[in-house]
Amino acid sequence: MVSVLSAMEKSNVKAHAMLGASSSHRWLNCTPSAMAESVYPDSESDFAREGTLAHALAAKRLKTHFGRSTKDEETEIAELSERYLTGEMEEHVEGYCNFVLQRYREARERARRTHGCEPEIRIEARLDYSDWVEDGFGTGDALIIGGGMMEIIDLKYGKGVEVNAENNTQMMLYALGAGAAYDYAFDIDVVRMTIYQPRIGNLSSWEIPADELTRWAREELTPLAMLAAKGKGARQSGEWCRFCRAKGDCPRLAADSLALFELNSDANGIEIHHLPRILAQLDIMKDWVKAVEERALARALGGERIEGYKLVEGRSVRKITDPQGAAAALLAAGAEPDEVWRPRELRSLTELERTFGKKGFAAACGKYVEKPKGKPTLTVESDRRKALDPADTFAYLDLAVPE
Ligand code: SF4
C-alpha cells in the first residue's frame, strides 16, 4: 500500500484530529461537517465510558494471554469499574476475547498451510493512516496479520445502532493504517474487517482485496479528506447527521427538514411510494428537533434573547431527604409498617441481567421468563428481525391499536 499524497498536497491538508475515523462516514458524505462540528464541545457520555471499560477489560485479558504488559489498561479499569462493571459486561468481554483467539488460531492455520511466517497479533494498536488523511490515526482493538490476510476486529459495546462491516469507512481507515505499518513485513492480499457487537448479537465481516482498498483511498478518500480539512464542499443531509454536533445550527438540515414537512404536511395524503424517503428522513428530523431545542436553551442560558421566549425554572418534584428518619417518625406517630413501606419488589430483567450476566441469570431463573408478542412496528428491510406476513397479523391486531 503506497502513500498517494505528494509533499505539496500534504501541506495543503490541515486535517488535525478533526478528521477522525469514527466520524469518517459523516465527513465523507458531508465534507464541511468536520470543521462545522469542531466548534462544539465533544463531551464524553456514560455510554462512551462504559465502552472504554469494556475495551480495557478485553485488552487486558488478551494481552495477558499473550504475555504482554497491561499497565495502561489497569489504570482505566481501576477508574471505571466501580461505576460501570457488570456481570453482563464480563460475559461479553469473555465472548469477544474467545472470538479473537479463534480468529488468531485460524490465521495460524492459514499461515501453516501456505508455509508463511507466524501471524502477528496486535491489541489496541495505534493505526496511523496519515498517508491518506493528514494527521489521521486511530486505535484498532485487535489486528491479526498472517497467511496473506490482515484482519481488523472492532469491539462495539454500544447497542443503539447495529454496525455493518461492509464499506465501513472507519474500519477501512484503520485497515489503511495497519497496512502502512505491516505490509512491508507480511504480504497482505486481502483485508478482512470484522465488527463484534455482542449486546445485540451482531457479528459482521467484510473482505476487500488490499489493492482495491488502496484504490479507494487514492481516488475517493484523499480528495474528500482534503476538502473536509478546509471545510469545503456542499453540506449534504442524511442519516450521518444523526451524531453531528453541528446539527442544531445546520442550515442544510433545517432546510431539508422543513421542505419535507411543507411538502407532506397532510399526513393522510402522503402517497405510499413517497413513504420510504419520508420515513428515513423522520429519524433525522426527530434528532434535529431535539438538537434545535438544546441549542436554543444553551443560547438563552448564555444570555441571548429569543423573541417571545424566556427562561423559567423547570418543574421539580418534592423528595424525602431521609427515608429512614421519615419512616421512623411515621411509625412513632402510630402508622402500620405496611402503610409506610412498599413491599419488596424484584429488580427489572435488564437490571438483573446486568448484575448477573445473561448466562448467569438464564441458568438461575430462565424458566421464570416469558416473552409476549411485540407490537407490529415498521422498520427498514435490513433490520435483522423476521418480517411479519400481513396475512398473519390478525393475532397482532389488539396490539396494533394505538394507546
Ligand atoms: S447536520 Fe448534517 S448536513 Fe449539517 S453539517 Fe452536520 S452532517 Fe452536514
Q: Is residue 385 part of a domain?
A: no
Considering the domain architecture, whether residues 53 and 91 belong to the same structural domain is answered as: yes
Higher pLDDT, 380 or 368: 368
Positive or negative, the Cα torsion across 247, 252, 255, 261? negative
CB 66 within 8 A of CB 121: yes
In this model, does residue 10 exceed pLDDT 50?
Answer: no
Kindly report, residue by residue over 83-92, the tens digit of the pLDDT. Answer: 999 999 999 9
CA of 33 to the centre of ligand 1 (A): 5
Considering the domain architecture, whether residues 141 and 171 belong to the same structural domain is answered as: yes
Domain boundary among 229, 260, 276: 229
Predicted pLDDT at 122:
94
Considering the domain architecture, whether residues 63 and 180 belong to the same structural domain is answered as: yes
Considering the domain architecture, whether residues 200 and 258 belong to the same structural domain is answered as: no
Which residue's alpha carbon is nearest to atom 7 within ligand 1?
241
Domain boundary among 283, 299, 315: 299
Q: Is residue 24 part of a domain?
A: yes
Please state, rounded to an integer, the average pLDDT across all residues of the chain: 88
Distance CA(58)–CA(65), nearest Å, equals: 11
Nearest to 205 by CA among 133, 138, 90, 106: 106
CA of 263 to the centre of ligand 1 (A): 21
CA of 242 to the centre of ligand 1 (A): 8
Distance CA(256)–CA(280), nearest Å, equals: 12
Q: Is residue 147 part of a domain?
A: yes
Q: Is residue 20 part of a domain?
A: yes
Predicted pLDDT at 396:
58
Q: Is residue 280 part of a domain?
A: yes
Beta strands 202-209 and 149-155: pairing type? Answer: unpaired
Considering the domain architecture, whether residues 113 and 259 belong to the same structural domain is answered as: no
**Position 9 confidence tier, pLDDT thresholds 50, 70, 90:** very low
30 Cβ closer than 6 Å to some ligand 1 atom: yes
Predicted pLDDT at 13:
37
Distance CA(178)–CA(170), nearest Å, equals: 12
Considering the domain architecture, whether residues 173 and 269 belong to the same structural domain is answered as: no
In this model, does residue 299 exceed pLDDT 60?
Answer: yes
250 Cβ closer than 6 Å to some ligand 1 atom: yes
- Of 97-101, 110-114, 188-192, least confident by mean pLDDT is 110-114
Considering the domain architecture, whether residues 171 and 218 belong to the same structural domain is answered as: yes
Q: Is residue 203 part of a domain?
A: yes
Considering the domain architecture, whether residues 135 and 17 belong to the same structural domain is answered as: yes
**Position 147 confidence tier, pLDDT thresholds 50, 70, 90:** confident
Considering the domain architecture, whether residues 274 and 215 belong to the same structural domain is answered as: no
245 Cβ closer than 6 Å to some ligand 1 atom: no
CA of 380 to the centre of ligand 1 (A): 22
Task: Count Cβ atoms within 10 A of the Cβ of residue 115 and give its class: 0-12 exposed, 13-18 middle, 19 or more buried.
Answer: exposed
Which residue's alpha carbon is nearest to atom 1 within ligand 1?
247
Considering the domain architecture, whether residues 145 and 212 belong to the same structural domain is answered as: yes
CB 191 within 8 A of CB 166: no
Distance CA(402)–CA(203), nearest Å, equals: 35
Task: Compute φ and ψ for 197, nearest 5 degrees.
Answer: -125, 85
Considering the domain architecture, whether residues 219 and 259 belong to the same structural domain is answered as: no
Distance CA(27)–CA(36), nearest Å, equals: 10
Atom of ligand 1 nearest to the CA of 238: 2
Considering the domain architecture, whether residues 225 and 98 belong to the same structural domain is answered as: yes
Q: Is residue 132 part of a domain?
A: yes
CA of 290 to the centre of ligand 1 (A): 15
Domain boundaries, position 170: 7-229
CA of 215 to the centre of ligand 1 (A): 27
Atom of ligand 1 nearest to the CA of 241: 2
Q: What would the grid cell of residue 324 be?
A: 429512614
Q: Is residue 317 part of a domain?
A: no
CA of 314 to the centre of ligand 1 (A): 31
DSSP 298-347: HHHHTT---TT----PPP-----S-HHHHHHHHHHTT--HHHHSPPP-PP
Positive or negative, the Cα torsion across 155, 160, 162, 168? negative
235 Cβ closer than 6 Å to some ligand 1 atom: yes
Residue 378 region by backbone torsions, left for phi larger than 0, else alpha for psi between -120 and 50, else beta: beta
Domain boundary among 275, 299, 323: 299
Instruction: Could you list the beta-strand ranges (E) of 147-303.
Output: 149-155, 190-197, 202-209
- Number of domain units in the chain: 2
